[in-house]
Amino acid sequence: DAGITQSPRHKVTETGTPVTLRCHQTENHRYMYWYRQDPGHGLRLIHYSYGVKDTDKGEVSDGYSVSRSKTEDFLLTLESATSSQTSVYFCAISESLEDYGYTFGSGTRLTVV
């Protein structure tokens, strides 16, 4: 989507390796989020950020860490990838939830073999 990009779009990695996904925004929005989407589970929040260096856990944070050193970038790291982390990962941004909701990125399809 305009104003938010995710990289890479696709990645295949081996079990036990570290993986970092990047979300970049040009909207200067305060809030950034990482979700995973899996069949039968819908969207599940992994971590979110409410400002530079301010982050918190979502409902499925085990095995993931995040960092936000500047407003425009929010990184998601899988410290040691497992097959259960094979998923599609979406980043979202927001400035005012009540007024505008989220703007989502196009997603990263991650396969852990």
Residue 58 engages another protein in binding (rule: CB under 8 A)? yes
Residue 1 engages another protein in binding (rule: CB under 8 A)? yes
To another protein, the closest distance from the beta carbon of 50 in angstroms equals: 7
Residue 97 engages another protein in binding (rule: CB under 8 A)? yes
To another protein, the closest distance from the beta carbon of 42 in angstroms equals: 4
Among residues 36, 60, 107, 110, the one that binds another protein under rule CB under 8 A: 107
Instruction: Give the Cα separation of 44 and 51 in Å (integer).
Output: 21
- Residue-wise over 19-35: b if at least 16 C-beta within 10 A, else e? bebebbbeeebebbbbb
Residue 27 engages another protein in binding (rule: CB under 8 A)? no
Is the peptide bond prior to 8 cis by the omega test (within 30 degrees of 0)?
yes
Distances (CA, A) of 90 to 9, 43: 10, 9
Residue 30 engages another protein in binding (rule: CB under 8 A)? no
Residue 48 engages another protein in binding (rule: CB under 8 A)? yes
